[in-house]
């Protein structure tokens, strides 16, 4: 009885929210152009319940098959136009990007901070993007290789002989790398521990229902967000007392000619942590699974990495930036993992004016969603798209068909950092360890990024590995099939 009552209340709340948002955004189109084909679902609710009752990728793929590469729907209280072609994605993200603004729920802005660069467009966005990118370009990352390598070595050593949930472990790893990039490895341990504790509280509440009532995940996250802001203010004040100029991201934001306020700096620091963590952790988790499921590929990749390992005296010399640039097969594995998993399945934009595309009208105020995963899994662009095949990247993909980091002015500025993390972790993993996947991992869960069920539990142990040892791939507790 209580469960039924709760579900009914939730349904009515969704209906009310959808109705109010539809009244705001759902005006009828004017002029000769027609709306794209598609279904808007139930009155007020739209197709939100349909979407969340199944794999979102199945939902969007079925829509594309029925209606084509441009179709409409109604989700989360908003009328939407979905775009599943490279040309349409480029139209929205690059050539006509000025007609489509980034859009996020108000609760997300509140959690990260309204001054974070990905909530903005125009001059402020471009100025902030230049500042953030200055700390994430290859020349800036080159000097971080030894520090990232040390984080990887310490993490893998802590795994030795234990069963760990890969996704959760990778989230901690990407957080530590984010702290390194932001604070340059000079942050006091007390701050690091408190930032970690409060950040993960915010992370848990980020995708929860936005009810700011004491005891809810959202309320706890809001409180933790305030504590993060206070700590960042203390860290900035301590830096100002020292009157030095640091070359890390925080130093770049504090000492720039843009004269940013502390709120602007704090929001962008928290934004970088959010942008860098779950996505990178998800891809790293899938890489472990794909390598585990493809033993012959793992052997070939291990041979490439052992060549570098031998050059470095079997670990007596440090890994270098230049060596990460020579990992040709490893790079293809990373690219194919990004395509196959398609962690960012789509992105949100909002039309700032009535826009016509291929004879269809996209009304002002409607959400527009380029569907990256649909493009990445289209057999017209990637033959046998459900097969994990890094060799497909021996030749560059067609323009706008491979968008793992987005495209245009809002493309992810941290893509080189993410790939550097992957290069270093793969190198240390396959040259020193082997691992088993614990249990059957053919299922996927969404939170919201797709990861193997239970975060891919693995057992890892140190092993004497040589490039010719075919037995060092590692066994399986239960053989897994490639993820869909």
- Residue 186 pLDDT > 90, yes or no? no
Residues 354, 336 share a domain: no
Shortest CA distance to 21 belongs to which of 365, 285, 468, 462? Answer: 365
Residues 404, 316 share a domain: yes
Measured at the CA of 449, the angle between CA 443 and CA 453, to 5 degrees, comes to: 25
290 within domain boundaries? yes
227 within domain boundaries? no
pLDDT, average across residues 85-97: 95
The predicted structure's pLDDT at residue 258: 84
The predicted structure's pLDDT at residue 465: 53
Residue 352: which residues within 8 A CB-CB, separation 6 or more?
98, 99, 100, 101, 364
Q: How is 44-61 classified by DSSP, letter by letter?
A: TTBTHHHHHTS-HHHHHH
Take residue 421 and report the two structure tokens written for it. 């993390």
- Pick 278 or 51 by higher pLDDT: 278
Q: How many helices (H) and strands (E) does the chain have?
A: 18, 12
46 within domain boundaries? yes
Is 412 annotated in a binding site? The answer is yes
Residues 284, 254 share a domain: yes
Handedness of CA 355, 360, 365, 369 (dihedral sign): negative
Residues 37, 51 share a domain: yes
Instruction: Count how many domains the chain has.
Output: 2
Span 249-277, pLDDT tens digits: 999 999 988 889 999 999 999 999 888 78
Distance in angstroms (rounded) separating the CA atoms of residues 465 and 306: 9
Take residue 22 and report the two structure tokens written for it. 């539809």
Q: Give phi and psi for 360, each to the nearest 5.
A: -105, 145
Side-chain half-sphere CA neighbours of 343 within 13 A: 27
Handedness of CA 37, 39, 44, 45 (dihedral sign): negative
Query: 111, 226 in Cβ contact below 8 A?
Result: no
Q: How many CB atoms lie within 10 A of CB 124?
A: 14
Distance in angstroms (rounded) separating the CA atoms of residues 184 and 178: 9
Residues 78, 138 share a domain: no
Question: Domain residues for 326?
Answer: 124-186+246-342+383-473
Q: What's the full length of the chain, in residues? A: 484
**SS3 (DSSP) at 100:** strand
Shortest CA distance to 332 belongs to which of 364, 300, 309, 361? Answer: 300
The predicted structure's pLDDT at residue 16: 52
Distance in angstroms (rounded) separating the CA atoms of residues 137 and 266: 21
Q: What is the pTM of this model?
A: 0.86
Residues 75, 144 share a domain: no
223 within domain boundaries? no
Distance in angstroms (rounded) separating the CA atoms of residues 81 and 63: 11
Residues 155, 91 share a domain: no
Find the CATH number of the domain harbouring 70: 3.30.43.20
Span 11-55, pLDDT tens digits: 445 555 545 544 444 445 455 679 999 998 887 678 877 776 767
Q: Is 4 exposed, middle or buried (0-12, 13-18, 19+ CB in 10 A)?
A: exposed
The predicted structure's pLDDT at residue 349: 92
Residues 463, 364 share a domain: no
The predicted structure's pLDDT at residue 246: 81
């Amino acid at each position: 009885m209580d469960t039924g009552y709760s579900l009914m209340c939730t349904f009515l709340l969704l209906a009310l929210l959808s109705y109010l948002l539809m009244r705001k955004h759902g005006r009828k189109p004017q002029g000769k152009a027609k709306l794209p084909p598609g279904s808007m679902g139930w009155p007020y609710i739209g197709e939100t319940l349909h979407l969340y009752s199944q794999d979102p990728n199945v939902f969007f793929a079925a829509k594309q098959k029925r209606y084509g590469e441009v179709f409409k729907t109604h989700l989360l209280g908003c009328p939407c136009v979905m775009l599943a072609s490279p040309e349409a994605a480029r139209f929205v993200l690059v050539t006509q990007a000025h007609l489509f603004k980034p859009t996020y729920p108000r609760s997300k802005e509140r959690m990260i901070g309204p001054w974070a660069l990905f909530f903005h467009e125009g001059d402020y966005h471009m100025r902030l993007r230049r500042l953030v990118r200055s700390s994430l370009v290859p020349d800036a990352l080159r000097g971080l290789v030894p520090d990232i390598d040390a984080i990887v070595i310490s993490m893998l050593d802590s795994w030795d002989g234990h069963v760990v949930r890969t996704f959760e472990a990778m989230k901690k790893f990407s957080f530590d790398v984010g702290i390194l990039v932001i604070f340059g490895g000079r942050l006091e341990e007390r701050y690091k521990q408190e930032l970690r504790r409060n950040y993960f509280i915010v992370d848990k509440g980020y995708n929860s229902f936005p009810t700011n009532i004491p005891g809810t995940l959202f309320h706890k996250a809001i409180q933790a967000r305030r504590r993060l802001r206070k700590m960042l203010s203390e860290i900035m004040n301590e830096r100002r007392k020292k009157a030095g100029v640091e070359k890390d991201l925080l130093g770049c934001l504090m000492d720039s000619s843009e004269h940013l306020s502390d709120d602007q700096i704090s929001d962008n620091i928290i934004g970088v942590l959010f942008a860098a963590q779950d996505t990178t952790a998800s891809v790293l988790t899938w890489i472990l699974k794909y390598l585990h499921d493809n033993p012959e590929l793992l052997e070939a990749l291990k041979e490439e990495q052992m060549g570098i390992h031998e050059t470095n005296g079997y670990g007596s010399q440090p890994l270098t930036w230049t060596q990460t640039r020579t990992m040709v097969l490893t790079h293809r594995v990373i690219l194919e993992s990004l395509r196959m998993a398609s962690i960012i399945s789509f992105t949100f934009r909002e039309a700032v004016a009535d826009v016509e595309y291929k004879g269809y009208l996209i009304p002002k105020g409607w959400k527009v969603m380029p569907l990256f995963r649909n493009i990445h899994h289209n057999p017209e662009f990637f033959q046998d798209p459900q097969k994990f095949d890094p060799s497909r990247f021996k030749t560059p993909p067609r323009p706008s068909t491979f968008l793992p980091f987005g495209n245009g002015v809002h493309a992810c500025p941290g893509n080189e950092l993410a790939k550097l993390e992957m290069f270093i972790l793969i190198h240390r993993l396959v040259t020193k360890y082997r691992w088993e996947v614990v249990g059957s991992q053919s299922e996927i869960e969404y939170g919201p990024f797709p990861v193997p069920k239970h975060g891919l539990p693995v057992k890892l142990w140190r092993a004497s590995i040589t490039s010719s040892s075919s037995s060092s791939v590692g066994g399986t507790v239960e053989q897994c099939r490639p993820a869909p």
